[in-house]
Amino acid sequence: MKKSLILFACLAAWCFHVAAQGSIARYEWWVDGDFASRTAVTQAGTWTASLNLSALHEGLHRLEYQAVDNEGRRSAVAVRHFIKVLPPPTTTATTLQRYEYWLDGDYANVVKGNMGNDGIISLSPDFAALHEGLHRLEFHVYDNLGRLSSTAVKYFIKALPDPTTTATTLQRYEYWFDGDKDNATSGEIGAGGIVTLALELADMHPGLHKFECRVFDSAQQTSATMVKYFIVRDLSSLEEITPNLIAKYAYWFNHGKRVEFVVDPPTPTINVTNQVIELKDIVPNMVGEDYEFDLAKKLLYVTDDVLVAVQVFDKYGTGSVPDTTTVHDFVVPVDPHFRGISPDEEHIMPSPKPGMAQGYIYSGEVKDSLEWVIRGPEMPVDFYDEQGNRLQPVLIQKDEETTIWGMRIPTAVVYAIARDAEVNYFIDDESSVELVYFNADPGDVNRDGQITAVDLSIVVNIIAGLDNAALYRGRADVNRDGEITAADIGMIVNIIAGLGN
């Protein structure tokens, strides 16, 4: 039976009625995607926090946070953008404090210094390494509040080693837009060396553009190219700013895909009544260990808290802050997309991100000795027999890159489910699963090429419970009856005595 949620909205206000279950134990927050430096706040219920953002630079930033309940389950990540503004002016007069300058756009080799009390900079740059010809000096200054001036640009000429009696002067300029140098515009530079440009931008599309400019001297030497970026705004809609109209709304679950609806024609208010939104295609926050494996449908059923988010957009594409609510303890189906796996084949896959899984099916013979070699990010792998019973394999090897599980399968079909690899939503690491089937040499338990008393002692220890049979991958089951017993000891003794083959 499909489960659904009735969504009501009016004037972009969205209300969800859910049963409150569970309790919030703490919150975690981080800034600008730096999840590794997240801060945990132990607090139940509504989060009220005073965040220390003093180390951030002025400008646009992104705050992300999530809630964690008392069972360790995490909500989807909520995102808020904010701007750190410059400090307000104080009653203390601001003063120029320091300067920076660089040559020909080489900011990597910037020169820094402190301003004098009179605000005058006396520079003695070393131009010995510069080639002869035209160059560009750029500089800006900072005040005592850390605020930065715009960058000033000055052109100068380093004279030729054997200058003529005619002084070299700036002669003409050239500029172009968006890298279109073939359609550059040029003009003459006046006697004062000042160029006043009246740029026609009416035919440019709204958005980000690039302006590039250079100058030539009377010896036809050219300066380095100066680059400036600017934004052309869409002025056609300024007369229609009021009233603003709602043109679209969208919803999504947890970190899943957005589903969008267009409001046509746009309207100042929306009233969506009795619209049924199916809770499907949901990615849970994590599969975890408490899922149920439905063998018949080849699905995992995860009980999780589902965050439902709704957002509206005006006709200019500006979106509202998403309105969110949580549906607690919702059963989310996860499809591991099972695929067949054969011995001595390596299957490469994208590592399952949190809330996702990848399944494998092995079809062979009862009591096959198998080794599952898992490479890539850390991730749990669960095993089931053909009746859907959980299997407990033996951990043979585990290091930073490889985990090896060994088992002697009790049924002809085995299911393996890899889930929740340790990757984030920005890095799509690869993992691999390789199945190795050991056609063991019966009796040569330690695989030294001979059947000796050493092999005999290992079998004795296995029967006595002092060693693990799975580590020897079937080589101790000499008569292949599926059990390691005194009969196997007798066969090894006969082989050592030359009475058996």
Q: What is the CATH number of the domain that holds 183?
A: 2.60.40
- Spatial separation of the C-alpha atoms in residues 323 and 249, rounded to whole Å: 11
Whether the pLDDT of residue 17 is over 50: the answer is: no
**Angle CA 97–103–108, to nearest 5:** 75
* 429, 368: one domain: yes
Whether the pLDDT of residue 262 is over 90: the answer is: no
* Structural domain that includes position 172: 127-232
Average pLDDT over residues 214-234: 76
* 357, 297: one domain: no
Res 441: pLDDT: 67
Contact 359, 336 (CB under 8 A): yes
> pLDDT averaged over the chain?
79
Where does the pLDDT of residue 272 fall: very low under 50, low under 70, confident under 90, or very high at 90 and above? low
- Spatial separation of the C-alpha atoms in residues 280 and 7, rounded to whole Å: 14
Q: Which of 232, 255, 278 is the last residue of a domain?
A: 232
Residue 71 counted as domain residue: yes
Contact 292, 425 (CB under 8 A): no
* 432, 345: one domain: yes
Q: Which of 278, 299, 334 is the last residue of a domain?
A: 334
Q: What are the structure tokens assigned to 12, written together?
A: 């972009």
Phi then psi dihedrals of residue 304, to 5 deg: -145, 160
Q: Which of 312, 334, 356 is the last residue of a domain?
A: 334
In 3-state terms, the chain is what percent helix, strand and coil (to 5)?
A: 10, 45, 50
Phi then psi dihedrals of residue 410, to 5 deg: -85, -15
Nearest to 406 by CA among 416, 392, 394: 394
Q: What are the structure tokens assigned to 246, written together?
A: 């709602």
Res 8: pLDDT: 29
Residue 217 counted as domain residue: yes
* 226, 131: one domain: yes
* 212, 260: one domain: no
- Give the total number of structural domains in the chain: 4
Residue 116 counted as domain residue: no
Whether the pLDDT of residue 136 is over 60: the answer is: yes
* 411, 465: one domain: no
**E strand or H helix at 458:** helix 453-463
Which residue would you say has higher pLDDT here, 16 or 182? 182
Whether the pLDDT of residue 314 is over 80: the answer is: no
Phi then psi dihedrals of residue 472, to 5 deg: -105, 5
Q: What are the structure tokens assigned to 329, written together?
A: 């303890």
Residue 265 counted as domain residue: yes
Res 14: pLDDT: 32
Res 340: pLDDT: 93
Beta-strand relationship, 339-340 and 357-363: parallel
Q: What are the structure tokens assigned to 249, written together?
A: 């709304």
Which residue would you say has higher pLDDT here, 46 or 114? 114
Res 338: pLDDT: 95
Whether the pLDDT of residue 10 is over 70: the answer is: no
* 330, 345: one domain: no
Min mean pLDDT across 60-69, 326-335, 438-447, 485-494 is at 438-447
Residue 90 counted as domain residue: no
* 158, 252: one domain: no
* 76, 132: one domain: no
Average pLDDT over residues 355-369: 87
Q: Which positions ≥6 away from 203 have C-beta within 8 Å?
A: none
Q: What are the structure tokens assigned to 17, written together?
A: 């009625």
Residue 89 counted as domain residue: no
CATH number at residue 360: 2.60.120.380
**Rounded to a whole number, what is the distance in angstroms from the first to the last CA of the chain?**
62
For the entire predicted model, the pTM comes to 0.45
* 9, 27: one domain: yes
Whether the pLDDT of residue 255 is over 80: the answer is: no
**Angle CA 312–237–269, to nearest 5:** 30
Q: What percentage of the chain exceeds 70 in pLDDT?
A: 83
Whether the pLDDT of residue 287 is over 80: the answer is: yes
Nearest to 337 by CA among 353, 355, 361: 361
Q: List residues bridging with 384 in a β-sheet.
A: 390, 415
Whether the pLDDT of residue 389 is over 90: the answer is: yes
- Spatial separation of the C-alpha atoms in residues 223 and 215, rounded to whole Å: 6
Q: What are the structure tokens assigned to 405, written together?
A: 């599980």
Residue 122 counted as domain residue: no
Phi then psi dihedrals of residue 462, to 5 deg: -65, -45
* 395, 317: one domain: no
Q: List residues bridging with 359 in a β-sheet.
A: 417
Identify the top-confidence range among 154-163, 246-255, 484-493.
484-493
DSSP secondary structure string for all residues of 374-442: EESS---EEEEETTSPEE--EEEEE-SSEEEEEEE-SSSEEEEEEE--S--SS---EEEEEEEE----T
Residue 347 counted as domain residue: yes
* 432, 458: one domain: no
**HEC string for 142-168:** EECCCCECCCEEEEEEECCCCCCCCCC
- Spatial separation of the C-alpha atoms in residues 328 and 308, rounded to whole Å: 11
